[in-house]
Amino acid sequence: MASSHRHDRSASPVGAHTRQDDAAEADALVRRAHTRTGTGAPAQLTALPLQGRPGARLSGSCDLDTRESLSAVLGILAGVPGAVVHLDLSAVAFLDPAAVAALVQASAALNGQGRRLLLHDPPYSLRKVVEMFPDECAALEVAA
C-alpha cells in the first residue's frame, strides 16, 4: 500500500534513491512495532533518520517483540551510502542478546563492504553483552 507521506529528500543525509527506495525507507524508518509485553504495557521500537549524517536514531526496546522492526531498520541502514553509517542508541532502553547479534551481523556486513556501522550511546544491556562475549562482538564499533 502506498503511503501518502513523502519525505523532503533535499533535507535527507541519505542521498539519492529511487522512488521504491524512498517508500521502503519511509516505511521502515517510521515503523512502530506495537505489541504487548507480559505486563500489558505496549512495547515499541521507532527509528528516525538522523539529521546531518547518514544513519538513524532508535527509540524503545529491541527484543523479541520488536525483532522484525530492528531487522527492517538494519536492512535500510545497509543501503545507506557512505563510508560510515551512524546508529544513535541513546533512546534505546534495552537490547536483548539477539538484537546485539543483529547489530554484530549488520556491522560485519558493512565491514565486508569496506564501510563502518558506528554506534552512539549504547544502553547498558549492549555494553554488558559485549563484556560477556567480547570475541563474538568484535565487529561492533562504539563512538568515543
Condensed to tens digits (0 to 9), the pLDDT of residues 118-132 reads 999 999 999 999 999
Q: Give me the pLDDT at residue 126, please.
A: 95
Look at the block and give the residue holding cell 563510508: 83
Query: Average pLDDT of 98-106?
Result: 96
Q: Give me the pLDDT at residue 118, please.
A: 97
Q: Give me the pLDDT at residue 129, please.
A: 94
Condensed to tens digits (0 to 9), the pLDDT of residues 13-68 reads 334 444 345 434 434 444 433 333 344 454 589 999 999 999 999 999 999 999 99
pTM above 0.75, yes or no: no
Q: Give me the pLDDT at residue 144, please.
A: 74
Q: Report d(CA 94, CA 54) in Å as an integer.
A: 23
Q: Report d(CA 27, CA 132) in Å as an integer.
A: 35
Q: Report d(CA 1, CA 62) in Å as an integer.
A: 26
Condensed to tens digits (0 to 9), the pLDDT of residues 62-96 reads 999 999 999 999 999 999 999 999 999 999 999 99
In angstroms, what is the C-alpha Rg of the chain? 15
Cα torsion angle, 9, 76, 63, 129, sign = negative
